[in-house]
């Protein structure tokens, strides 16, 4: 039986973290200003008061230290969840993540598990300054040993964070910060799709469009406009960036013959590049047009007043759809 409620993604993540901590006393939170303050986005608000300072730790401003400590805690049987305050702050912890966290289980031939979740608020649309609106997911998708996921709805956020915590492998949990506040339905009784499943969120027949995180809402806007103009677009929410669930993607491309992949990150050597290459390899004879990519530009993220020029919008998606249909 459904137990539906309406809440923004920020509250859904808070509720999901609370449930994970209630279910397992080994689950703990670590990060900068996540305790009394509740984090800069208030995702952990109230959790330190409920679970105490030993389970919700305010850390120094040292991402390498946060990740390194989480690795040690995981080796002792804990399930730490680390918050990186903003996407662009993750790089001081990059070595710990890619050289240690990702490789520890393989280094010990499977005898050491690394149940660590790293929460990363990422992406633009919030009018912030440098290092606060980046999309670094491709760096980590390239690293074997890490799982990467990104919810686009409050319901997915609530369930995916709990599934990530239960994983015995390290999970990079990319949270689209521009989607923290829009509200959506959350079913507290029925789990969402599996953690690493992509999903069709709007059916269509002429062109498949695909994205993850905040870009999914942009695709749905574009699909509405296209429908009013007589074009049927199928929208897929990727949800998992590593591993990628290609089943629904390939099934859709076999039906429509066309694919447009969208992302906020720059296009060169990216998630979109990987999907375009793989779909071309595995569905070549179904394609009626090249796989097209719509992305941020191959340049540093600009000042806030220029972000709308940098980030893909519905117009750029529809332009790619038109180019695909023109072949």
Tell me, letter by letter, the H, E, C secondary structure of 80-142.
EEEECCCHHHCHHHHHHHHHHHCCHHHHCCCCCCCCCEEEEEECCCCCCCCCCCCCCHHHHHC
Q: Do the domains at 4-187 and 199-326 have one common CATH topology?
A: yes
Q: Which helix (H) or strand (E) holds 313?
A: none
Residues 6+ apart with CB under 8 A from 18: 47, 50
Stretch 138-148: mean pLDDT: 97
pLDDT at 145 over 70: yes
**What's the token pair of residue 191?**
């789990």
Structure confidence by residue, pLDDT tens digits, 231-263: 999 999 999 999 999 999 999 999 999 999 999
Element (H, E) at 231: none
Phi-psi region of 120 (alpha: psi -120 to 50; beta: other; left: phi over 0): beta
Q: What would you report as the CA-atom Rg of the chain, rounded to the nearest whole angstrom?
A: 20
**Binning pLDDT at 50, 70 and 90, where does residue 125 land?**
confident
**Euclidean distance between the first and the last CA atom of the chain, given in angstroms as a whole number:** 47
What predicted TM-score, i.e. pTM, was given to this entire model?
0.96
Q: Which one, of 227, 237, 13, 248, lies nearest residue 120 by Cα?
A: 13
Rounded to 5°, angle at Cα 301 from 297 and 302? 100
Domain boundaries, the chain: 4-187, 199-326
Instruction: Please pick, among 108, 125, 131, 132, the residue that the annotation labels catalytic.
Output: 132
Indicate the CATH number of 4-187 among 3.40.50.970, 3.40.605.10, 3.40.190.10, 3.40.50.620. Answer: 3.40.50.970
Q: What is the pLDDT of residue 168?
A: 97
Q: Is 125 a catalytic residue?
A: no
CATH of domain 199-326: 3.40.50.920
The single-letter DSSP state of residue 168 is: S
CA 14, distance to chain mean position in Å, is 16
């Amino acid at each position: 039986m459904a137990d539906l409620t309406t809440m923004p993604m920020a509250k859904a993540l808070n509720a999901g973290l609370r449930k994970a901590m209630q279910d397992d006393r080994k689950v703990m939170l670590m990060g900068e200003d996540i305790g009394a303050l509740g984090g800069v986005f208030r995702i952990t608000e109230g959790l330190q008061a409920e679970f105490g300072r030993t389970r919700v730790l305010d850390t120094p401003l040292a991402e390498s230290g946060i990740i390194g400590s989480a690795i040690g805690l995981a080796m002792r049987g804990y399930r730490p969840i680390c918050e990186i305050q903003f996407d662009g702050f993750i790089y001081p912890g990059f070595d710990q993540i890619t050289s240690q966290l990702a490789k520890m289980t393989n280094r010990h031939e499977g005898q050491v598990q690394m149940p660590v979740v790293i929460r990363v608020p990422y992406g633009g649309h919030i009018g912030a300054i440098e290092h606060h609106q980046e999309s670094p997911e491709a760096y980590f998708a390239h690293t074997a040993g890490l799982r990467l996921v990104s919810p686009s709805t409050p319901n997915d956020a609530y369930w995916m964070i709990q599934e990530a915590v239960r994983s015995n492998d390290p999970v990079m949990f990319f949270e689209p910060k521009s989607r923290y506040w829009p509200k959506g339905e959350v079913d507290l009784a029925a789990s969402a799709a599996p953690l690493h499943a992509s999903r069709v969120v709007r059916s269509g027949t002429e062109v498949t469009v695909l994205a993850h995180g905040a870009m999914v809402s942009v695709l749905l806007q574009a699909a509405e406009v296209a429908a009013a103009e007589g074009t049927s677009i199928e929208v897929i929410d990727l949800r998992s960036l590593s591993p990628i669930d290609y089943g629904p993607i390939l099934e859709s491309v076999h039906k429509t013959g066309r694919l447009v992949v969208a992302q906020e990150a720059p296009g060169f050597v990216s998630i979109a590049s990987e999907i375009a290459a793989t779909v071309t390899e595995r569905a070549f004879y179904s394609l009626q047009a090249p796989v097209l990519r719509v992305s941020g530009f191959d340049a540093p993220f600009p000042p806030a007043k220029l972000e709308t020029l940098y980030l893909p919008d519905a117009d750029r998606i529809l332009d790619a759809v038109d180019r695909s249909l023109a072949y």
